[in-house]
Chains A and B, each alone.
Chain A
Amino acid sequence: EPEVTQTPSHQVTQMGQEVILRCVPISNHLYFYWYRQILGQKVEFLVSFYNNEISEKSEIFDDQFSVERPDGSNFTLKIRSTKLEDSAMYFCASESGAGGNEQFFGPGTRLTVL
């Protein structure tokens, strides 16, 4: 069964460093998302992406964040200068676009900023 994959599963970084979180969405899916979940809190929307453009972004998704689909298969989230409060689980999701808005989630990347 097709699935969304994410790497790495756990990333530890120093405050101020850049990180890139990687996702491989389900093949033939057209819509891509990043969400995050701070420990003990709810899952929050960060950004949606379609046709090589950002469709929507939340107020969390400031200038420190960027997304890219560099090669037609990977979908990346970059945080330019990490802060302590960026520590969270980051989930990638993809959607086929066939209707119903069913999003398939990856297993997540746990980001720890020290």
Chain B
Amino acid sequence: AQSVTQLGSHVSVSEGALVLLRCNYSSSVPPYLFWYVQYPNQGLQLLLKYTSAATLVKGINGFEAEFKKSETSFHLTKPSAHMSDAAEYFCAVSHTGTASKLTFGTGTRLQVTL
């Protein structure tokens, strides 16, 4: 079975500050890992994904994440927060291969203040 733990249901940062959203996973097989963002009243948009190539993955909107097998982590970072980054962020894990279900974490709501 696979699972994802996201530490911190709410994170607040100042505009221009570093964003760090934490994700730890559990998987008995090598995983694929994903970060999705959900803006209010919208669906889930893929930010980035790790699929066993480079461990440092760059995504859209300046976000990146690093896969650390030894720490079973896939934390999401952005050097400088923007007001438009305020949203809910979900980490997810799946088996490798096609048509594998996504198992999501509970989400982290990012608030960006002036």
Please report A residues at the B interface, Cβ cutoff 8 Å: 4, 31, 33, 35, 41-45, 48, 50, 55-56, 58, 91, 93, 95, 97, 99-108
The 10 A-B pairs with the shortest beta carbon distances in the complex, nearest first, are A105-B44, A107-B43, A45-B101, A43-B104, A105-B43, A31-B99, A42-B106, A42-B104, A100-B51, A97-B98
The SS class assigned to the A binding surface is strand
Query: Quick check: A105 and B45 within 8 Å, CB to CB?
Result: yes
Query: Quick check: B46 and A104 within 8 Å, CB to CB?
Result: yes
Q: A77 to B111, alpha carbons, bound, how many Å?
A: 34
Query: Quick check: B104 and A101 within 8 Å, CB to CB?
Result: no
Query: Quick check: A102 and B104 within 8 Å, CB to CB?
Result: no
Neighbouring B residues of A44 by C-beta, 8 Å: 104
Query: Quick check: A106 and B90 within 8 Å, CB to CB?
Result: no
Q: Count the B residues whose beta carbon is within 8 Å of the partner chain — how many?
A: 25
Neighbouring B residues of A95 by C-beta, 8 Å: 98-99
Residue of B nearest to A97 (CB): B98
Q: A11 to B49, alpha carbons, bound, how many Å?
A: 32
Neighbouring B residues of A106 by C-beta, 8 Å: 43
In the assembled complex, the CB of B27 is this many whole angstroms from the nearest CB of chain A, namely 13
Query: Is there a chain A Cβ closer than 8 Å to B102's Cβ?
Result: yes
A55-B99, A91-B44, A95-B98 known; A100 and B105 CB under 8 Å? no
Q: A76 to B90, alpha carbons, bound, how many Å?
A: 25
Residue of A nearest to B95 (CB): A101
Query: Is there a chain A Cβ closer than 8 Å to B96's Cβ?
Result: yes
